[in-house]
Amino acid sequence: MGEDGDFLYQSIIYIIFKKRPMYDIILEKEYTNMSYVITCGDEGVQINEGTRLGVVGAGYKLEGFSEVVKSLKNLLGKDLRIASNEENAWIKEKLDLSTWEQTNASAQQHVEAVADKEGLLYAGFLPFADPKELKHDIKGHMVRPQKIHIATKIVFTLAGGEQTFHLGSNIISAEWVHLVKPEVAKKFIQTQMDFYQKIAGDFKLKIVFEEDGELGEEIAEKNRLSLEKLGFNPS
């Protein structure tokens, strides 16, 4: 999106809305770098170089994450990256921290530990700043206004990560759903949805399926059917 686009977007939120918009705001950036990186599904995370797989808190203290990582490696290769980010609300809650300064420091430490445990490549930390070159061919930053959440929907990626940056969308990776037991998938996804809805408050988040990606239509269809059987449907 670029620095000018980021500034324009934040200006719109602060000056005009001053609250969560009541309709979708979508600014698109096509991705071409197929280096997959697991990040928090926070709507503010933007990966400029790399392809994003959204998991709340980057998988920290998220039951079922190890099994999901194994499935993602089977689908997308073993060299998966992972990145931490500024203002990670999930990590703040899990560690019962009182400030964002504490949270930001802890996020880097704990997500790097997750990387070591799961055999992932730790790329680095995504800040509220200009796009930052991280390790392992990843570049990105945070683009939502600080201390404000403006998501209007949850996007499930079904076939190979976030193909187009959807500003204002929480992201949930679902490429792996057809490979695990239904009860594992149900709990893993519902936990994330409940957390994002809690942050959104009374604003009901829509559900959207993104079915493009290098895994193709057949895998996307398997995941779509699996999600619908679990009760997760586009709205």
86-131 pLDDT per residue, tens: 999 999 999 999 999 999 999 999 999 999 999 999 999 999 999 9
Q: How much is the average pLDDT of 146-152? A: 95
Asked if residue 22 is part of any domain, the answer here is no
Asked if 128 contacts 142 with a C-beta cutoff of 8 angstroms, the reply is yes
At a CB cut-off of 8 Å and minimum separation 6, what does 88 contact?
40, 42, 57, 58, 103, 104, 107
Q: How much is the average pLDDT of 74-91? A: 97
Residue 119: strand, helix, or coil:
coil
| Cα within 13 Å of Cα(73), Cβ side | 15
Q: What is the pTM of this model?
A: 0.88
Asked if residue 77 is part of any domain, the answer here is yes
Domain extent for 95: 2-9+31-229
Number of domains in the chain: 1
Asked if residue 18 is part of any domain, the answer here is no
Task: Identify the CA nearest to 108 among candidates 88, 90, 94, 93.
Answer: 88
Asked if residue 187 is part of any domain, the answer here is yes
CA distance 59 to 195: 13
CA distance 160 to 116: 23
CA distance 158 to 55: 13
Q: How much is the average pLDDT of 39-54? A: 97
Asked if residue 60 is part of any domain, the answer here is yes
Position 35 pLDDT exceeds 80? yes
Give me the residue label for tokens 């933007």. 46
Task: Identify the CA nearest to 91 among candidates 129, 127, 62.
Answer: 62
| Cα within 13 Å of Cα(9), Cβ side | 22
Position 14 pLDDT exceeds 90? no
Angle among Cα 130, 6, 42 to the nearest 5 degrees reads: 85
* pLDDT band for position 47 (cuts 50, 70, 90): very high
Asked if residue 210 is part of any domain, the answer here is yes
Q: How much is the average pLDDT of 12-25? A: 45
Position 166 pLDDT exceeds 80? no
Token pair belonging to 88: 């990670």
199-229 pLDDT, tens digit per residue, is 999 999 999 999 999 999 999 999 999 999 9
* pLDDT band for position 33 (cuts 50, 70, 90): low
